[in-house]
Every structure is written in structure tokens, then in C-alpha cells.
A and B are shown apart, each in its own frame.
Chain A
Amino acid sequence: MADAAVVVEKLSKHYAGPPPVDAVRGIDLEVARGEIFGLLGPNGAGKTTTVGMCTTRVVPSAGRVSVDGIDVRADPPGARGRIGVVTQFNTLDRSCTVSENLQYHCRYFGMSHRDAKARAQELLETFRLTDRAGASVMALSGGMAQRLQVARSIAHRPVVLFLDEPTSGLDPQSRIALWEVLGALHDEGTTVILTTHYMEEADRLCDRLAVIDHGEILIMGTPEQLKRQVGVETVVTLRLDGDRAGAVTALSVLPGVDRAEVVEDEVLVYLAEREGPLPGIVQSALGFGLADLAVAEPTLETVFIQLTGRALRD
């Protein structure tokens, strides 16, 4: 990639333990300027460690990260000047008000008192926090606190914004509001790297994403590319009260069925065409105590299941 905002090469992190853990195992990726890039994977996949190494907080065991051409390990302050970070936790400065959280952040990044104040005012308006400007950050709701954290992370106009599970624990309304903010940042050309274990979030927000599990990238591409590579048109999800293994055997041989498998407590049936084989599937499943049925196009969840044999949700 000629003009990459972030380049990750053979990045690894080994924790000596006990127990010893290879949290990240030789990840390579490049993120283009202006791209929203997602790291999708279950909890413990190595997403947070990867972001930690990109944002100077985790020292890599091997490999290299550069952000906007700056080697993160060789020049952490230089890298920190170019990135914004929103972690999984509320890290707002509790000794300061909402407005001061933004102002002092700007001061840390070299702005004058006047510029910092003006920038804070601007962000409070943009993020609809003006009426809370003088409040303690401890009085904010979860959604508002997260908005303030995002506002703070972009206050110094970073080249790349890292968000680690940004919508985890948020109510649906706050989640959608945050997606709108990220969409606006994208429109402005900010490079965004986010981790998530919500496939809907990854699908909706990301230009490209990498599916990560056990510290390795399993597949990388646009959401459409990833879903296409599953090679099926429709996924039928069945909840059965009866013998699931027996159902898989029976369903697999039906015409139009590509394959069927048990994933956790459900039976997934993959169809090469849209809806033709459905009546036959229902007929057959009734014999195995059909309790519930859902028909959908393949999702990123389907991709993950195909790659790992496990569901993504925790």
C-alpha cells in the first residue's frame, strides 16, 4: 500500500506468564489513510494487545508498527502525537470537569490556553455536551462518558484514531450515536482502527476488516469479500429439541443444501441458492423437534463460524 497510515509487520506479543501466553502471533496488516479498519474477533483473540502495541502501551516481543511513518517503538512520543486512543475503560480525568477534560488534553498536545478553550467549546457543541461543560465527569451517563472520551481522543486532530471495543456496554441509542460520529470522522478522512466483537458493528462501519482469533489473522478483506468467500447464498439457523447430529445427517443430503453443521446449540444449514430448498428443510427438521427457524444471508458471524467452528458471540 503506497500511502498507508498504519503498517504492522510480523507483530508478536509473548507474555512469560505463568501461564505463558502468545497473545499475538506474527500479525501483518496495512491500513490506508482515511480507511475504517476493523479487528473482529472474540474476547481474548488478541485485539486489545494489538491495539496496545500500535498505541505505545504494550511493548512488542517482535515485529514493528509504524503510524504515519513513525516507528512506534523507536519514537513513542512522536507516535502519541499522531494518534488518538479510546480504550475499553472510562479513563476520563475524574478530578476535572467535562470541559477541563478536553481543555487539558489539548494543553498536553501543545495548544495555547486560548486555543485549547476554543477547541473544547467546539467539541462540546459537536458532541452535544455543552450543557454538561461544568459538570463532574462522574455525573455522566455511560453514553455521554463515551462521547466525551471520543471527543477527547480527537481533540488534537490525530492522524489515526484507535478505538478498543468502543460500543461495548453502551445502550443501543448511544451505540448508534457513536456510529454516526465515526461515520462523520470517516467523511473527514480520519483513519480509524477499531476492535469489536459485534459483527453488525464491523459490517456496518468498516471499509475493511481482519478476523482475528488466538492472536492470528484468519482472513482480511472488505465485509462483502469476506461474506462472499463463504460460498453460500443463504444460511438457515434451526433450533431443534431432538437429535441435532441426526438432523445434520438428514439435512446435508437434501437437494440445494451445500452443507449443515452443529454450532453450539443450533444447527446451521448452508444453501447454495436462495430459498428453493426451504420447504424440504422444514419438512425434515420437523422430524427432529423443530422449535425455531431463521433464514438469513451469510453474515460475518457465518464467516467466523466457518473459519473457527465457533460462534463469535460471547
Chain B
Amino acid sequence: MTSSVTSGVSEPRTVARSTARVSYRAAFWGLIVRDTRVLSRSMTQFLLRTVIQPFLFVFVFLYVFPNIGAQIHGPGKSSFGTVLLPGLVAVAIMFQGIQAVGLPLVNEFAQTREIEDRVMAPLPTSLVAFEKILFGAMQAVLAAVIVFPMVLFFPNANVHPHVNFPLLVAEIIVSCLSAGALGLAIGTGWNPRQVPLIFSLIVIPITFLGCIYYPWAALHPIRWLQIVILANPLVYVSEGLRGAITPNIEHMAWPVSMGVLIVIGAGLTWLGMRGFRRRVLD
């Protein structure tokens, strides 16, 4: 071992110490760079977890069902593919929050403790937590960009989109940040033993009752269900995207779906940030 450890030079007692304040922006950027590197290394895993579920949905509902004489139709004259497109983009976004932020955090807090070094970075703890939301949101955007054309161009999908681009961008941003916040809230609120429960209690119910396979308005014959699922954030993501991508299908007015989603997203952000501070500080 050389005699100079801190400085890497051989002059003792001349070490320049880190006393200048690191800008929060520089530290935050460091966290983003790290996460980007880790994501790029696990791109195959990212693609598999993003693509397989929506692919199987469209494969079963748009290929297998019609071929065995069990074709499903959307409400009115719309095709089922047109109903599914915004729904599957919505579910891809929401699950990135859980898979990219929530589940890894559960492990990092409880078992590997590998988040320790980032928590000790010279920036406020809430910014470390926000970076988790932001990076989860970025992965959710990526997932939406991958799933959208996959469903749109699936053979026999018969999708008829009428995209309102400015609204789509706004919906994607709000939805992806909300997904990141949901991931943070889950990741800081659950422990590894409860992971199977996350699937049973959160993932499956919000998927099946998230207006993915049917527009919210079409549920009016089952009024109680229509009201109960208003507690599901995925409903507002699906309905918001429906308004932006396939407005010909009946959907919630965008100010309503986006407004509620912003409120839910803010609530989840607050919950996640509080959970993060509680897990990090003793």
C-alpha cells in the first residue's frame, strides 16, 4: 500500500480536502448517470418485462380469439384493437413504476443496502427520492414508446387512432410521473416478504379493473363497479390516453382524468417521499 491514499500523490499533509459545496444539480445528475448505466446494461431484461405482457394480450385477444371464432368487439362500431391500444400503453406505463422503482427499492432497503452510497450523496434526501420517481418515469416513457407501435402495427389489430399530440405528450408526462410515484410509495412501504402480495393486491386488481379492455363509460350497466374503480389510478391513465389517442371511443373529459391523476400522483409522491425519509433516517 503506498503511503498516500487520499491524494494519490506522495507529498504528505498537502491533501486538498473536499470543502466546496457540491451543487445539487451535479449530484442529481450523477444519480441519473448511474441509473442510465445500470439500465443500459439490463436492456434485455427491460425489453422483456415491457413487451411480453402487452404482446400476449394482443396475441390472445386479436389473433387467437378471432381465429377460434370468439372475436371480441369494442363498444359501438369500434374495433377491440382500438380499445386496447391506449389501455395497453397505460398498463405498460404503470407497471414500469412498480417494476423499475418499487420492486428494486424493496430489496435495496431491506437486503442489499446498495442504495446507501446514493443516500449519502451531498444532496437532500428528498432529491434522491425524486430521482427515483424521475428515472422510473423515464423508463415508463420508453415503455410507452415501445408498446404503442407494437399494438398499432400488430397484424389484424385494426386500430384506428386519431392522435392529439400535444394532449398525448401531456398525458404521458403526468402518467409516467404518477407511475414513478406509485413505485416509490410501494418500494418504501413494503418489505421483501410482501412482494407476492404486491402482485395479488395491487398489480392484478389495478390491471383488470383499470379500464384497459373497456372504456369507463361502457361500464354504466354495472354502476357500482363504475364507481368503485374510480379509486384505481390506472383508470385515469387509460382514459386520459384514450382521449389523446383514440378520441372516437367514449372517454372521460381530459381535464377530469388528468386533474384526478395529478392529485393522485401528488398524493403518491408525498407518501413515497415520506416513506423514503423514514426508511433512510432513524
Q: Which A residues lie at the B interface, using CB under 8 A? A: 49, 52, 55-59, 68, 76-78, 80-82, 85, 87, 89-96, 100-101, 104-105, 107-110, 113, 119, 122-123, 126-128, 152, 154, 156-159, 177, 180-181, 184-185, 187-190
Contact = CB atoms under 8 A, between A and B. Distances in A.
B3 interface: yes
A104 B12 contact: no
Nearest to A149: B117
13 contacts: A80-B121, A87-B116, A95-B38, A104-B34, A109-B18, A110-B23, A113-B33, A123-B8, A126-B8, A154-B6, A157-B6, A158-B17, A184-B1
A165 B118 CA distance: 21
Contacts of A93: 34, 114, 117
A152 B117 contact: yes
Given A81-B22, A95-B38, A187-B3, A107 B113 contact: no
Contacts of B65: none
Contact of A108 (B1, B8, B20, B117): B117
B117 A184 contact: no
A52 B19 CA distance: 21
B3 A59 contact: no
Interface of B: 1-8, 12-13, 15-24, 26-27, 29-31, 33-34, 37-38, 41-42, 112-114, 116-125, 280-282
A126 to B, nearest CB: 6
Contacts of A157: 6-7, 15-18
Contacts of B114: 91-95
Contact of B12 (A127, A154, A187): A187
A159 B122 CA distance: 14
Q: Most B CB atoms within 10 A — which of A56, A68, A96, A104? A: A104
Contacts of A104: 30, 33-34, 37, 117
B29 A159 contact: no
Contacts of A90: 113
B17 A184 contact: no
Nearest to A101: B117
A62 B43 CA distance: 48
Contact of B122 (A52, A58, A91, A109): A109
B116 A188 contact: no
A96 B13 CA distance: 32
Q: Most B CB atoms within 10 A — which of A85, A105, A109, A119? A: A109
B192 to A, nearest CB: 15
B18 A81 contact: yes
B34 A77 contact: no
A56 B122 CA distance: 11
Contacts of B12: 187-189
Q: Most A CB atoms within 10 A — which of B8, B13, B18, B31? A: B18
Nearest to A13: B282
Q: Most B CB atoms within 10 A — which of A80, A158, A185? A: A80
Given A77-B122, A126-B4, 4 more contacts: A57-B120, A108-B27, A184-B3, A188-B12
A110 B34 CA distance: 13
A108 B282 contact: no
B3 A109 contact: no
A305 B21 CA distance: 45
A188 B7 contact: yes
A181 B123 CA distance: 28
A159 B17 contact: yes
Nearest to B122: A81
Contacts of A154: 5-6
